[in-house]
Amino acid sequence: MEKRMFKDAIYTSIAGMTKAFSNANRLEILDLLANGEKTVEQIAAQTSVSVANASQHLQVLKQARLVNARRQGTFIYYALSGRKAYAAWKALRDLALEQEPDVQRTLEQYRRESNSLPGCHYTEIPANEATLLLDVRPVEEFSAGHLGNALSIPIQELPERLEELPRHKTIIAYCRGPFCTYADEAVALLKANGFEALRLEESFLDINLNEEKWNN
């Protein structure tokens, strides 16, 4: 094969794969699926798009080999194809957080208005009993994987379950990552009810990217 033909073929194939990342809805779908498999109906509901549009986006992601699908009864469940698919999305997300001013401004404004500033990083959590990790994702996502010793209270249940939380500890809430709003909502609710609360900047997946749960 001639050298120019070789290079054109390689970069054309890679460019074709990266087109799957060039849509806002598909990026949000990747973020959702990183936390556990979901049906097209669940994805449509959580991204506020129609089932037909969600299905089209999923087919693009599947063709790019970023997601896998399995059928169970009348439902088709979609999941990320593995660690490398999540790592690619995370790298793009982190690049935007570092270098895209609009992303930085929007994120800071939302958190300021939500009273969820400041946040903290996982490495900053003291190794003692002064804090409690609170996972506010849906229970099925918690079951798929969570940080050790974390308590699961989905955000929808939190207003009715505040009495389960210790008031002598700092509550550190986490969800699906920096663009998920569940932890912001949790921190705002906790602060309004007299708790010391912080948002964890990372997700379970960010902290455990290289764990054995991933198949590639």
Report the catalytic residues. 175
Could you tell me how many residues make up the chain? 216
Measured CA to CA, the distance from residue 50 to residue 192 in angstroms comes to 35
Could you give the 3-state DSSP secondary structure of residue 115?
coil
Helix axes 24-33, 83-99, angle to 10 degrees: 130
Radius of gyration, alpha carbons of the chain? 19
Q: What angle do CA 19, 215, 38 make, to 5 degrees?
A: 65
Cβ–Cβ < 8 Å for 183, 199:
yes
Type of residue numbered 97: L
Measured CA to CA, the distance from residue 50 to residue 52 in angstroms comes to 5
